[in-house]
C-alpha cells in the first residue's frame, strides 16, 4: 500500500505541475494574445470606468473632460464631454466605448488614463490618500484663435491652420465640416453607434480633419517651394534671371503650352513674378533653372513625400510631389506651379510659410504643450524639435522679402488688413478644379510678426470649391480669414473682427 | 510530546493565516472607498473566534494530529471569504453572499468540532461501511426524487427541504469514501487474486463486479444529474482505492479502459458532454455564448499577469458564477500567477499531509480512508482549477474551502476532521506501542 500511496502522490504532483504550466500560459506567455483578442473589452471598460484627465486650451478653456454621468441607466459612472462641441472635434477627437476613439483621446489615451504617470509615494500616508491618477493635457491651441478661425471660415468647406514657426506649436487648426464628438462618446451605446453610422455616411466626410488628414492641389501657393528651389539650386537671385513677358510657357519636346491665368502676359524678376503669380515664369524656372531632381529634392526638404508627419495626432497624411518625371518636362512645368499630381495638406502648406519665416527650418508641429498630473505638476512638456531644413537662412531672408512684397504690391494685399505695424508676408493660390462652371480651391499661406523679429505666426487657409477661377480668388476669399486669424494671434486683446 | 509541538506549530500557522486573511480583507476594501472597512471589528472577532475555537478543540480532542491541515484549510477559507466579499463589492450588492458564507464558515467549524467529538475512533466507521454506502447512494440519488430535487444551471445536484437547499453530493462523497475504504479493506485479499490470460494478469471477472458497479453509478450521476465533475471524482476515487488496496495496477488499466469507453459513449450520446469538450478544444467561435465563462476566465488570468491587478482592482463580476466554479479566475485576476500558484501549493501541501497521514497509519481501513479523503480534495481542486484554466473540459465542482457554498464548506470541514482524527489515532497508537515497549524493556 505504501508504494501505491507514494505513486498516487507523484501522480497528483504531476497533475498540479501541468496545472501550473497552464496557469503560466494564461497569465504570462499567452496573456498578450488574450488581451488583444477582439472579444476582450476589459481594457476599454477599465478606462471607461476610471477617472480620465481633461484637455484644456493654452488660454484655459476646458475642451474635454469627464463628468459624473447624469444618465441613471449608464453603464459607467463617468461621461466624457466636449463642451465646445464641433470646435475641437478634429483635435480632441471622440471617446466612444464601442465606436472607438480618435484624436488626442486616442493618441494620448495612456496619459489621460494616467498609465504613464509615475505615482510618487512621498510617504506611507499617500497609500491612503484618494488621488486621481490622471494626466491633464494643456494644448498650444488657443481658444480665441480657434474661435476666430471657425467664425471666419463659416459654413464653407475648407481649413485653417495657424502655428508658431519658431516652435511648431499649433495655435488653431479648424476645418469645416466638423462634427459634435458628444453623441459618439455617449454612454448610451446604441445612440453612439447610430451617431457614428450617420457621420460615416454624412456628406463631406466630417470625421476627417481636412487640415492634416486630407490633401488638395496647392495651386500657386506651391510657387514658394519652386522659388526656393530656384534660389537654392537654380542660381536664381533677386535680379536675375529676368523672365520674358509671355502669356504661356512651352517646355522643350512638346507643343502643348502652359497658359497664364486668363491668357495674361507676365514676366520679370523673382519678386515681380511672385507678386503676379506668373505661371509661365515659374514653369520655366522649374524646368530650366532647377530641373526634375532639384524640384523633387526641394519639395522633399519641405516635407513632401515623407509619410512620417511628426504631429502628435493620429493618422496624419503625407503631402505628395511627383518623383517620376523622367523626361516629361510639361509635367514638371505643371508641378512647378502646384498642379498635376502635386497635393498637400493645409498643415503642410502652413509649414511652407513657417519655413520661410523661421530661417528655413521647419519645426515639428504639435498641439499638446504640457501634460500635468492631478497635483498640477508638469510631468511632460512639448520639446520643440526640428523636422526639416527647407532652405538656408539667406534664401529664407530673400523669400521672406519676396513674400512681403506680395502682400505690399501683389495678389495678397488683403493679408495685412488690421495688421499695420507688423511685417506680413504671403502667397495666394487658386487651384482650378477643371469644372464647368469653373470652380477652384482658394488658398493663402503667410506669416506675420513684429518688425525685425522671427514672425510669431504662420498660416495656411484653404476654402474649397469657390466659384470662379481667377488668380484673385485666393486673395479675395482666403486672405481676410488668414489676416483675422493672425491678428488674433498677435493681438489677443483686440477682439475678433472689431 | 509530539502533540505539544504540533499544536504549537498549528497555533503559529493559524496566526499567520489569520494575519493574511485580515490584511487581504482590508486591502480588498481599500480601492472602493479608501478607508478601512467599518465592520472590521466584528469580522475580526468572528474570524479569530472561529479559528481559536477550532484550535482549542484540536488541543482537547485530537492533540497529536497533524498541525498543518487546519491552518491550510483556514488560509483557503479565508482567501475564499475575502474573494466572496470582493465579488459582492463588484456586483454592488452589500447584502450578497459574504454574510451567508461567514455563516457557513461558522457551521463548518461547528461540523468540524462535532465530527471530532462524535468520531472518537475512525475504526468505528469501518463497522458502518454498508450503512455509509447506502447513505452515500441515497444522497447521490436524492436530487432525482421528484419534489425534492432542484435543477439549477442544468445540473440536478440540489435538493431543497423547505427553506434549506443543499448539494447532497458533497456529503455523498465522504460516505462513499468510508464505504469504499471499508469494503476494499475487507475484500482486498480476494480482489488481489488474478488470472492470467495469455501472460497478462487480469482480475478474476467475478471480482470485477464492484468496479463495474462504481462505473455504472458514476455514469448514472453524469447522465441523470448532468454532473460531470462529481461523476469523474467518484470513479477516480474508487479506482485509486481499489488500486491502493489490492496493489494491482491492472485495476488501473481496466479502469482507464472503462473510463475511455464511458467518455466516448457520453461524448457521442450527450449534447451537454460534447458541448463541454468543444468549448475546451476551441472556445473562440462561441466566445459570446456557451464559451463565455471560459473565455472571460482566460481574460481574467491574462489581466492578472504575474502579480495580479491587486486586491479589489479586478472585475470578477464579468464572469458568471464566479463565486463558485470560477472563483479561481477571480484569484488569478487580482493576485496573478503568484496568488494562483500559492493556491496550488496550499492544495499540494494538503495532499502531502493527507498522504503522509495515510502512509503512517498502521490500520488498513484508516490508510484507505485517508488516501480516499485526500484524493477527493486534491482531485476535486484539480478538476475545477484545470477546467477554469482550460487544461481540461470544464466540469462544475467547487474549489474546496474557497468557493462559495454551504454544502461544500461543511463537507470539506468534516472531511478535514476525519483526516485529523486518523492522524491523531495513529500517533496515539504509536505512542502507546512505544510506551508498552518501554514497559517491557523496563520489566525485562
Contacts of B344 in chain A (CB under 8 A): 16, 19-20, 23
Angle between helices B364-388 and B168-192 (to 10 degrees): 130
Grid cell listed for B207: 471480482
Residue A120 has pLDDT above 60, yes or no: no
Instruction: Please state the ipTM of this predicted complex.
Output: 0.94
User: For A116-133, what is the mean pLDDT?
Assistant: 59
**Span A402-417, pLDDT tens digits:** 999 999 998 899 999 9
- Give the residue carrying C-alpha cell 488481489: B192
Inter-residue contact A313 to A103 (CB < 8 Å)? yes
Interface test with A, best of B298, B362, B364, B385 (most A CBs within 10 A): B298
User: For A9-23, what is the mean pLDDT?
Assistant: 96
User: For B60-66, what is the mean pLDDT?
Assistant: 94
Chain B, window 299-338: residues with a beta carbon less than 8 angstroms from a chain A beta carbon: 299, 301-306, 315, 318, 332, 336-337
Å from B423 to nearest chain A CA? 16
Interface test with B, best of A7, A27, A75, A126 (most B CBs within 10 A): A27
Cα gap B351→A12, rounded to integer Å:
8
Cα gap B64→B9, rounded to integer Å:
12
A56 is catalytic: no
Pairing of strands A55-56, A136-139: parallel
pLDDT of residue A344: 97
Cα gap B348→B289, rounded to integer Å:
34
Helix (H) or strand (E) segment spanning residue B169: helix B168-192
Residue B240 and residue A2: Cβ atoms within 8 Å? no
User: For A104-128, what is the mean pLDDT?
Assistant: 72
User: For A67-77, what is the mean pLDDT?
Assistant: 83
Higher pLDDT, B204 or A46: A46
Helix (H) or strand (E) segment spanning residue B48: helix B40-61
pLDDT of residue A494: 66
User: For A300-323, what is the mean pLDDT?
Assistant: 95
Cα gap A355→B17, rounded to integer Å:
69
Percent residues over pLDDT 90 in chain A? 71
Å from A45 to nearest chain B CA? 10
Residue B403 has pLDDT above 90, yes or no: yes
Grid cell listed for A227: 522659388
Contacts of B295 in chain A (CB under 8 A): 39
- pTM here is 0.70
Choosing from A54, A185, A220, A336, the catalytic residue is: A220
Question: Assign residue A189 a region: left if phi > 0, alpha if psi is -120 to 50, beta otherwise?
Answer: alpha
Residue A483 has pLDDT above 90, yes or no: yes
Å from A47 to nearest chain B CA? 13
pLDDT of residue B225: 80
Cα gap B433→B420, rounded to integer Å:
20
pLDDT of residue B108: 96
Of the candidates A73, A58, A320, A38, the residue with the CA atom closest to the CA atom of residue A186 = A73
Residues 6+ positions from B118 with CB-CB distance below 8 Å:
none
Cα gap B356→B371, rounded to integer Å:
9
Higher pLDDT, B205 or A33: A33
Residue A497 has pLDDT above 50, yes or no: no
pLDDT of residue A498: 38
Residue B243 has pLDDT above 80, yes or no: yes
- State the Rg of chain B over Cα: 23
Count of A-B CB contacts under 8 Å: 116
Inter-residue contact A483 to A419 (CB < 8 Å)? yes
Residue A329 has pLDDT above 90, yes or no: no
pLDDT of residue A496: 46
Q: Does A9 touch chain B (CB under 8 A)?
A: yes
Residue A27 and residue B379: Cβ atoms within 8 Å? no
Residue B348 and residue A6: Cβ atoms within 8 Å? no
Cα gap A234→B6, rounded to integer Å:
97
Q: Does B99 touch chain A (CB under 8 A)?
A: no
Residue A128 and residue B30: Cβ atoms within 8 Å? yes
Higher pLDDT, B339 or B196: B339
Burial class (CB in 10 A: 0-12, 13-18, 19+), B352: middle
User: For A96-125, what is the mean pLDDT?
Assistant: 78
pLDDT of residue A209: 96
What's the full length of chain A, in residues? 498
pLDDT range class, residue B30, cuts 50, 70, 90? confident
Least-confidence region, from A81-90, A155-164, B141-150 = B141-150
Inter-residue contact A113 to A52 (CB < 8 Å)? yes
pLDDT of residue A49: 81
Helix (H) or strand (E) segment spanning residue A164: none
Inter-residue contact B211 to B238 (CB < 8 Å)? yes
Residue B201 has pLDDT above 70, yes or no: no
| C-alpha separations of A91 from A101, A213, B398 in Å | 12, 12, 52
**Which of A12, A22, A31 shows the shortest C-beta gap to B302?**
A31
Least-confidence region, from A20-24, A410-414, B193-197, B290-294 = B193-197
3-state secondary structure of B381: helix
* Other Cβ atoms closer than 10 A to B309: 20
Percent residues over pLDDT 90 in chain B? 53
Least-confidence region, from A25-39, A417-431, B89-103, B417-431 = B89-103
**Span B123-161, pLDDT tens digits:** 999 999 989 988 988 888 888 888 788 777 777 778 877
pLDDT range class, residue A352, cuts 50, 70, 90? very high
pLDDT of residue B218: 72
Strand order in the sheet with B164-166: B149-152, B155-161, B164-166
Residue A1 and residue B315: Cβ atoms within 8 Å? no
Inter-residue contact A31 to A115 (CB < 8 Å)? no
pLDDT of residue A299: 97
Cα gap B274→B281, rounded to integer Å:
11
The phi, psi pair for A314, rounded to 5°, reads: -75, 150
Distance in angstroms between the alpha carbons of the first and the last residue of chain B: 25
Residue B351 has pLDDT above 60, yes or no: yes
Mean pLDDT (chain B) is: 88
Residue A127 has pLDDT above 90, yes or no: no
Least-confidence region, from A146-160, A293-307, A353-367, B201-215 = B201-215
- Domains in chain A, CATH or no CATH each: 219-367+385-490 (3.40.710.10)
pLDDT of residue B196: 67
Grid cell listed for A16: 498540479
Å from A17 to nearest chain B CA? 9
Contacts of A3 in chain B (CB under 8 A): 247
Cα gap A370→A383, rounded to integer Å:
10
pLDDT range class, residue A128, cuts 50, 70, 90? low
Amino acid at each position: 500500500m505504501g508504494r501505491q500511496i507514494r505513486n498516487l502522490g507523484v501522480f497528483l504532483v504531476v497533475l498540479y505541475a501541468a496545472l501550473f504550466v497552464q496557469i503560466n500560459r494564461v497569465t504570462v506567455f499567452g496573456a498578450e494574445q488574450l488581451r488583444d483578442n477582439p472579444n476582450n473589452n476589459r481594457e476599454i471598460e477599465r478606462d471607461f470606468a476610471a477617472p480620465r484627465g481633461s484637455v484644456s486650451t493654452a488660454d484655459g478653456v476646458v475642451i474635454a473632460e469627464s463628468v459624473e454621468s447624469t444618465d441613471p441607466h449608464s453603464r459607467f459612472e463617468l461621461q466624457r464631454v466636449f463642451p465646445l462641441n464641433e470646435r475641437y472635434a478634429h483635435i480632441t477627437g471622440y471617446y466612444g466605448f464601442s465606436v472607438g476613439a480618435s484624436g488626442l483621446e486616442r493618441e494620448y489615451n495612456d496619459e489621460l488614463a494616467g498609465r504613464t504617470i509615475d505615482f510618487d509615494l512621498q510617504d506611507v500616508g499617500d497609500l491612503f490618500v484618494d488621488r486621481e491618477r490622471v494626466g491633464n493635457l494643456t494644448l498650444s491651441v488657443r481658444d480665441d484663435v480657434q474661435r476666430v478661425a471657425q467664425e471666419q471660415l463659416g459654413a464653407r468647406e475648407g481649413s485653417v491652420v495657424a502655428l508658431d514657426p519658431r516652435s511648431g506649436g499649433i495655435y488653431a487648426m479648424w476645418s469645416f465640416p466638423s462634427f459634435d464628438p458628444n453623441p459618439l462618446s455617449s454612454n448610451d451605446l446604441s445612440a453612439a453607434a447610430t451617431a457614428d453610422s450617420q457621420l460615416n455616411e454624412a456628406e463631406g466626410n466630417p470625421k476627417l480633419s481636412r487640415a492634416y488628414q486630407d490633401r488638395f492641389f496647392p495651386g500657386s501657393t506651391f510657387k514658394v517651394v519652386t522659388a526656393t528651389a530656384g534660389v537654392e539650386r537654380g542660381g536664381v537671385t533677386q535680379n536675375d534671371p529676368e523672365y520674358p513677358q509671355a502669356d504661356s510657357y512651352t517646355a522643350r519636346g512638346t507643343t502643348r503650352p502652359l497658359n497664364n491665368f486668363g491668357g495674361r502676359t507676365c514676366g520679370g524678376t523673382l519678386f515681380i513674378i511672385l507678386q503676379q503669380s506668373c505661371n509661365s515664369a515659374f514653369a520655366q524656372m522649374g524646368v530650366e533653372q532647377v530641373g526634375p531632381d532639384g524640384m523633387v529634392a526641394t519639395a522633399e526638404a519641405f516635407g513632401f513625400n515623407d509619410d512620417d508627419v511628426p504631429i502628435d495626432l493620429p493618422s496624419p497624411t503625407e503631402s505628395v510631389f511627383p518623383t517620376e518625371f523622367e523626361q516629361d518636362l510639361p509635367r514638371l512645368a505643371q508641378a512647378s506651379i502646384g498642379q498635376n499630381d502635386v497635393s498637400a495638406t493645409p498643415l503642410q502648406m502652413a509649414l511652407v510659410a513657417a519655413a520661410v519665416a523661421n530661417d528655413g527650418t521647419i519645426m515639428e508641429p504639435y498641439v499638446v504643450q504640457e501634460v500635468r498630473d492631478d497635483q498640477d505638476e508638469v510631468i511632460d512638456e512639448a520639446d520643440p524639435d526640428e523636422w526639416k531644413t527647407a532652405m538656408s537662412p539667406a534664401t529664407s531672408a530673400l523669400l521672406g522679402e519676396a513674400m512681403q512684397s506680395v502682400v505690399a504690391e501683389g495678389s495678397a494685399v488683403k493679408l495685412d488688413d488690421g495688421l499695420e505695424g507688423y511685417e506680413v508676408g504671403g502667397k495666394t493660390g487658386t487651384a482650378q478644379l477643371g469644372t464647368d462652371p469653373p470652380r477652384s480651391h482658394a488658398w493663402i499661406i503667410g506669416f506675420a510678426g513684429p518688425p525685425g523679429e522671427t514672425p510669431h505666426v504662420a498660416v495656411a487657409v484653404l476654402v474649397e470649391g469657390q466659384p470662379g477661377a481667377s488668380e484673385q480668388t485666393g486673395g479675395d476669399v482666403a486672405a481676410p480669414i488668414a489676416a483675422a486669424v493672425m491678428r488674433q494671434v498677435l493681438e489677443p486683446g483686440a477682439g475678433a473682427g472689431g | 510530546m509530539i502533540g505539544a509541538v504540533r499544536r504549537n506549530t498549528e497555533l503559529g500557522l493559524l496566526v499567520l493565516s489569520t494575519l493574511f486573511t485580515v490584511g487581504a480583507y482590508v486591502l480588498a476594501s481599500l480601492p472602493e472607498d479608501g478607508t478601512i472597512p467599518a465592520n472590521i471589528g466584528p469580522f475580526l472577532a468572528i474570524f479569530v473566534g472561529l479559528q481559536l475555537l477550532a484550535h482549542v478543540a484540536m488541543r482537547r480532542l485530537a492533540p497529536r494530529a497533524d498541525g498543518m491541515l487546519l491552518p491550510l484549510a483556514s488560509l483557503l477559507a479565508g482567501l475564499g471569504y475575502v474573494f466572496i466579499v470582493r465579488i459582492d463589492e463588484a456586483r454592488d450588492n452589500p447584502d450578497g453572499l459574504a454574510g451567508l458564507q461567514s455563516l457557513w464558515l461558522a457551521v463548518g467549524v461547528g461540523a468540524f468540532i462535532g465530527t471530532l467529538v462524535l468520531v472518537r475512533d475512525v475504526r468505528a466507521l469501518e463497522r458502518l461501511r454498508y450503512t455509509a454506502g447506502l447513505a452515500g447512494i441515497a444522497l447521490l440519488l436524492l436530487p432525482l426524487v421528484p419534489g425534492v430535487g432542484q435543477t439549477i444551471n442544468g445540473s440536478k445536484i440540489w435538493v431543497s427541504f423547505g427553506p434549506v437547499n443543499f448539494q447532497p453530493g458533497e456529503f455523498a462523497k465522504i460516505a462513499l469514501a468510508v464505504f469504499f475504504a471499508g469494503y476494499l479493506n475487507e475484500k482486498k485479499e480476494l480482489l488481489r487474486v488474478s488470472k492470467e490470460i495469455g501472460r497478462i494478469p487480469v482480475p478474476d471477472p467475478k471480482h470485477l463486479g464492484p468496479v463495474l458497479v462504481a462505473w455504472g453509478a458514476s455514469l448514472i450521476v453524469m447522465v441523470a444529474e448532468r454532473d460531470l465533475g462529481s461523476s469523474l471524482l467518484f470513479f477516480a476515487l474508487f479506482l485509486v482505492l481499489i488500486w491502493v488496496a489490492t496493489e494491482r495496477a491492472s485495476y488501473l488499466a481496466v479502469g482507464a479502459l472503462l473510463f475511455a469507453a464511458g467518455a466516448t459513449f457520453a461524448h457521442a450520446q450527450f449534447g451537454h458532454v460534447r458541448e463541454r469538450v468543444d468549448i475546451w478544444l476551441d472556445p473562440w467561435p462561441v466566445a459570446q455564448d456557451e464559451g463565455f465563462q471560459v473565455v472571460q476566465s482566460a481574460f481574467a488570468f491574462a489581466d492578472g499577469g504575474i502579480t495580479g491587478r491587486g486586491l479589489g482592482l479586478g472585475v470578477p463580476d464579468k464572469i458568471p458564477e464566479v463565486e463558485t466554479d470560477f472563483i479561481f479566475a477571480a484569484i488569478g485576476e487580482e493576485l496573478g500567477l503568484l496568488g494562483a500558484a500559492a493556491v496550488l501549493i496550499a492544495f499540494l501541501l494538503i495532499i502531502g499531509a493527507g498522504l503522509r497521514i495515510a502512509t503512517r497509519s498502521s490500520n488498513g481501513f484508516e490508510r484507505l480512508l485517508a488516501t480516499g479523503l485526500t484524493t477527493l480534495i486534491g482531485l476535486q481542486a484539480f478538476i475545477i482549477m484545470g477546467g477554469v484554466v482550460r487544461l481540461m473540459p470544464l466540469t462544475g465542482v467547487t474549489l474546496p474551502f474557497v468557493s462559495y457554498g454551504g454544502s461544500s464548506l461543511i463537507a470539506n470541514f468534516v472531511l478535514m476532521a476525519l483526516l485529523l482524527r486518523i492522524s491523531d489515532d495513529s500517533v496515539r497508537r504509536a505512542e502507546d506501542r512505544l510506551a508498552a515497549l518501554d514497559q517491557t524493556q523496563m520489566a525485562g
